[in-house]
């Protein structure tokens, strides 16, 4: 399933991740645990939530999140 987002200038990263978590029936805490396992770096649910709120998630982390949730990130050229 492909999702197209047009969320304005607010924190799009947080909204996209929360939407995908809801779609895939995961909790933020579960995602943080899976990220910790995948990346080998401590990642508590609280610190991850704060980083989402501050929009300081890296692109590499976004790729890992997409992979964990069964998605891939694609760039589509605008018309």
Q: Could you read off the pLDDT of 21-79 as tens digits, one per residue?
A: 999 999 999 999 999 999 998 989 999 999 988 888 899 999 999 999 999 999 999 98
DSSP conformational letter for 41: S
Q: Which residue has the higher pLDDT, 20 or 11?
A: 20
Closest CA to 62 of 23, 12, 9: 12
**Model confidence at 7: pLDDT above 80:** no
For the chain, domain boundaries:
12-69
CA angle 39, 21, 29 (to 5 degrees): 55
- pTM score, two decimals? 0.79
Enumerate residues 6+ apart whose C-beta is below 8 A from 75.
Answer: none
């Amino acid at each position: 399933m492909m999702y197209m987002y047009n969320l304005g200038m607010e924190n799009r990263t947080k909204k996209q991740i929360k939407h995908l978590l809801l779609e895939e029936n995961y909790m933020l805490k579960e995602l943080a645990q899976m990220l910790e396992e995948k990346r080998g770096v401590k990642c508590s649910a609280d610190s991850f939530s704060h980083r989402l709120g501050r929009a300081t998630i890296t692109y590499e982390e976004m790729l890992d999140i997409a992979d964990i949730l069964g998605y891939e990130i694609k760039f589509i050229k605008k018309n």
